[in-house]
Amino acid sequence: MLTLSRVSRRYGETIALDGVDFVVPENTYMSLLGASGAGKTTLLRLIAGFEEPDQGEISINGERIDGQPTHLRDIGFVFQNFALFPHLTVAQNVAFGLRYRTNAPLTNETEIKDRTEEALELVGLTGFGHRAVSAISGGQRQRVALARTLICEPRIVLLDEPLGALDANLRSRMCDELKAIRERLGVSFLHVTGSETEALTMGDKVAVLANGRIMQTDAPDTLFSHPGNADAARHLNAWNIFDASLCRTSALDGMIAVRFDQMDVSAAGTGPADRPTLAAKYLTGEFNGPTALSFFRADDGTLFQIVDHLSQPRLPDLVEGQRYDLHFPPQALRQFHGAA
């Protein structure tokens, strides 16, 4: 179990992390979702020991690891750019940790060879050992990076946007494989990403990092349907967040949120009386396959997005520049307290 308590990191005037409390349980795939610049990579680098926190404690199974040198922490790290050793072959890359690590390095060549082949098999690269790392594709490099880390049996594996450098097709395949590999090994993965779909797909649990803090940690479906605060909701890219006073009929106040797929549209003035309704101008639509996204702007400038599913269309024909009534069932809204 990896525990961070009140971990802070500053770079000059900018505060990257501001008292992060965070727990990664045993045998868990944890996704960490955050916008770029939110401090995701900083958090991983602190855990790995490439940098030290200004304040706070990091520990694994109760043993404090901050202040320890990186190579004694026993934590795996998979880099976004893979960071393979360019002068070594695939097999030498994978065997690197076993051969040269400080704690109990292996000297028996047959054992190294067997373990290397085992690791390559695990990531589906049997027979690629003799290749130069330049002679394999991006997805294969990713697997080599993974095999190189996993062969050392670290206590936890940190993945820094591991799919960011891959193309979309490969990304979804690697998603499944990463999950499968993790389940076979039973080690915890902490996967950092800026993509909400990736975070929700991969994680047994998803944590949202914003403003230098962990805003919420929950199972993917819970997080998606019940974001605990406006920041968490904003990162899911599925919630309209707006001031309740925009609604004509409701007596609500403060910031409220309604999911993209739970809002309906009617011609101006015809919104049902039993539903909270607000007026907005239709801006434009965006078609992206199975769903279509429509954009509206309310009177105070708030942007609204509404998802329509191709198989069950529920929006009327929309004309750009026209005003419409947007409404939603009262039980669909979530209300947040405090500032957004």
Partner 1 sequence: MESRVLRPVLAIYSSIFLLFLYGPMIVLAILSFQSVDGGPQFPIREWSTYWYQHLLGLTETSRVSQLPVGDSLIRSIVLAFMTTVVSTVLGVMSAEAFRIKFKGSGPAFYLIILGMMVPGVLVGLGMALLSNTIGIGRAWWGTSFVLHVVYTYPFAFLVMLAIFNRFDRTVEEAALSLGVSPAQTFRRVTFPIIFPGVLSAMLFSFTLSYDEFSRTLFTAGRDLTLPLSIYGTFSVEIYPNIFAFGVLTTLFSFTLLVVYGLLMKRFTSKAARFKGQEDG
User: Could you tell me the smallest distance in angstroms from the CB atom of residue 48 to partner 1?
Assistant: 6
Among residues 24, 14, 336, 2, the alpha carbon closest in space to that of 205 is found at 24
Minimum CB distance to partner 1 smaller for 144 or for 306 = 144
Among residues 247, 253, 251, 269, the alpha carbon closest in space to that of 328 is found at 247
Strands 2-11 and 213-218: what pairing? Answer: unpaired
User: Could you tell me the smallest distance in angstroms from the CB atom of residue 164 to partner 1?
Assistant: 11
User: Could you tell me the smallest distance in angstroms from the CB atom of residue 104 to partner 1?
Assistant: 9
Minimum CB distance to partner 1 smaller for 65 or for 223 = 65
Helix axes 138-150, 109-122, angle to 10 degrees: 130
Minimum CB distance to partner 1 smaller for 142 or for 294 = 142
User: Could you tell me the smallest distance in angstroms from the CB atom of residue 61 to partner 1?
Assistant: 17
Minimum CB distance to partner 1 smaller for 79 or for 328 = 79
Amino acid at residue number 239: W
For 152, other C-beta atoms within 10 Å of its C-beta total: 18
CA 170 to each of CA 81, 94, 139, 247: distance values in angstroms, whole numbers, following the listed order: 15, 21, 7, 44
Q: Could you give the CA distance from residue 158 to residue 278 in angstroms, rounded to a whole number?
A: 45
User: Could you tell me the smallest distance in angstroms from the CB atom of residue 263 to partner 1?
Assistant: 40
Q: Could you give the CA distance from residue 174 to residue 43 in angstroms, rounded to a whole number?
A: 23
* Structural Rg of the chain based on CA atoms: 24
Minimum CB distance to partner 1 smaller for 56 or for 154 = 154
Minimum CB distance to partner 1 smaller for 69 or for 338 = 69
**Which residue do the tokens 């795939």 mark?**
29
User: Could you tell me the smallest distance in angstroms from the CB atom of residue 147 to partner 1?
Assistant: 12
Minimum CB distance to partner 1 smaller for 83 or for 310 = 83
Q: Is 68 exposed, middle or buried (0-12, 13-18, 19+ CB in 10 A)?
A: middle
Q: Could you give the CA distance from residue 156 to residue 164 in angstroms, rounded to a whole number?
A: 21
What does the binding site for partner 1 look like in residue numbers (CB under 8 A)?
Answer: 48-50, 69-72, 74-77, 79, 81-87, 96-97, 100-103, 132-135, 137-139, 141-142, 145, 148-149, 152, 165-166
User: Could you tell me the smallest distance in angstroms from the CB atom of residue 95 to partner 1?
Assistant: 10
Q: Could you give the CA distance from residue 33 to residue 100 in angstroms, rounded to a whole number?
A: 34
Minimum CB distance to partner 1 smaller for 105 or for 272 = 105
User: Could you tell me the smallest distance in angstroms from the CB atom of residue 46 to partner 1?
Assistant: 13
**DSSP notation for 271-326:** --TTS-EEEEEEEEEEE-SSEEEEEEEETTS-EEEEEEETTB--SPP--TT-EEEE
Minimum CB distance to partner 1 smaller for 32 or for 156 = 156
User: Could you tell me the smallest distance in angstroms from the CB atom of residue 272 to partner 1?
Assistant: 53
Contact 241, 234 (CB under 8 A): yes
